């Protein structure tokens, strides 16, 4: 799959998620087969570029290429300046956020709030595309609310502006993350534009990925929440799309090794104290629905040191592996 001058290994994308898709997580998903992982969004306000949070979000040292950085804002000139700044910092693809439903983003007329102002959408896209030589991509929702789905119109604006790829989440801003994603609008967008289109929303299994691709005609799928605590989903989907068969789930021992390495990298990336706190949510995602996980997570949240955190994870997965070598819920999905 190609985005301008950048060639991807496949059609599997990691959705940008604030507080989740940091460099350790992006690299992990790429290792398991994601063709592209988009960074957490960075504000276009230059006063925020030097903050510790923004510096971490734009830290690409050792990151597997291609590097895609998402920018957010509502002023065309500020967005153009932000795009240039990110390219100077190593971004090879600039992604524009017009899909975030968060109130703090929409309240400043950014994210999915922009979908209410198509002329402003056009001015922002044109300004950013002209500002950089790297490919520009766009992430949107289907519209502001179910009565105002305008993704097709925005897609045409994006194509005319020189955007290279469009990702569409199958919900409106008003829907948040509730209810079920709908794919009719994504199919309409694909039929209405020549742009590569990536479908996003409620894709949790390889079978769902196949169905969404077939139904919408999309060129790729973007995985968000389903990858939290389960980065191997990209390996599973890639295998299924290529062969039509399911991989066996990972061994519990493999997950133990994976999670320990992930935690260690988080400690290093954020610093020991902050890294322990960030790791807690990832540990919760990795262990959700596993035997004894409720009690384990309650204990985990009381641990204050990295050493104690790693030791507790090791003990939990060692005990789990003695009871069953594979994840039981995923074995049931493949009919084993």
Task: Write out the DSSP string of 92-118.
Answer: SEEEEEE----HHHHTTT-GGGGGG-H
pLDDT score at 46: 85
- The dotted CATH code for 2-243 is 3.20.20.70
Yes or no: is domain 252-323 CATH 1.20.120?
no
Tokens in use for 89? 């910092």
**Residue 224: pLDDT over 90:** yes
pTM for this prediction: 0.92
Which residue do the tokens 């929440």 mark? 225
pLDDT score at 332: 47
Return residue ranges of the chain for CATH 3.20.20.70.
2-243
Tokens in use for 300? 């985990």
- 131, 83 contact by CB (below 8 A): yes
29 tagged catalytic: no
Return the higher-pLDDT residue of 252 and 327.
252
Q: How confident is the model at residue 53 (pLDDT cuts 50, 70, 90)?
A: confident
* pLDDT tens for each residue of 107-154: 555 677 899 999 999 999 999 999 999 999 999 999 988 899 999 999
The overall longest dimension of the chain from CA atoms, in Å, is 60
Establish whether the linkage from the previous residue to 66 is cis, with ω within 30° of 0: yes
* pLDDT tens for each residue of 269-312: 999 999 999 999 999 999 988 888 889 988 998 899 999 999 99
Q: Measured between alpha carbons, how far is 260 from 288 in angstroms, rounded to an integer? A: 16
pLDDT score at 293: 87
Tokens in use for 64? 């597997």
């Amino acid at each position: 799959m190609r985005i301008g001058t950048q060639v991807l290994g496949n059609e599997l994308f990691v959705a940008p998620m604030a507080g989740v898709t940091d460099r350790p997580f992006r690299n992990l998903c790429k290792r398991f087969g994601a063709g592209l992982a988009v960074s957490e969004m960075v504000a276009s306000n230059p006063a925020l570029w030097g903050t510790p949070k923004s510096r971490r979000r734009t830290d690409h040292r050792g990151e597997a290429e291609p590097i895609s950085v998402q920018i957010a804002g509502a002023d065309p000139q500020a967005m153009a300046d932000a795009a240039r700044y990110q390219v100077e910092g190593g971004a090879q693809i600039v992604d524009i956020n017009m899909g975030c439903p968060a109130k703090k983003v929409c309240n400043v007329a950014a994210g999915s709030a922009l979908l209410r102002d198509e002329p402003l959408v056009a001015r922002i896209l044109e300004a950013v595309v002209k500002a950089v030589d790297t490919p520009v991509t766009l992430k949107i929702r289907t519209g502001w609310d179910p009565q105002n789905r305008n993704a097709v119109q925005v897609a045409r604006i994006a194509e005319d502006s020189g955007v290279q790829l469009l990702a569409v989440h199958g919900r409106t801003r008003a829907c948040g993350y509730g209810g079920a994603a709908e794919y009719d609008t994504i199919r309409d967008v694909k039929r209405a534009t020549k742009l590569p289109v990536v479908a996003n929303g409620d894709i949790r299994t390889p079978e769902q990925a196949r169905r969404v691709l077939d139904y919408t005609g999309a060129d790729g799928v973007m995985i968000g929440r389903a990858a939290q605590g389960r980065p191997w989903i990209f390996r599973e989907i890639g295998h299924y799309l290529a062969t039509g068969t399911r991989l066996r789930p990972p061994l519990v021992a493999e997950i133990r090794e994976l999670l320990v390495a992930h935690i260690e990298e988080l400690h290093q990336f954020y610093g020991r104290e902050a890294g322990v706190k960030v790791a807690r949510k990832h540990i919760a995602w990795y262990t959700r629905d596993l035997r004894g996980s409720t009690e384990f997570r309650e204990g985990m949240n009381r641990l204050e040191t990295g050493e104690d955190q790693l030791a507790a994870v090791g003990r939990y997965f060692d005990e789990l592996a003695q009871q069953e070598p594979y994840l039981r819920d995923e074995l049931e999905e493949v009919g084993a």
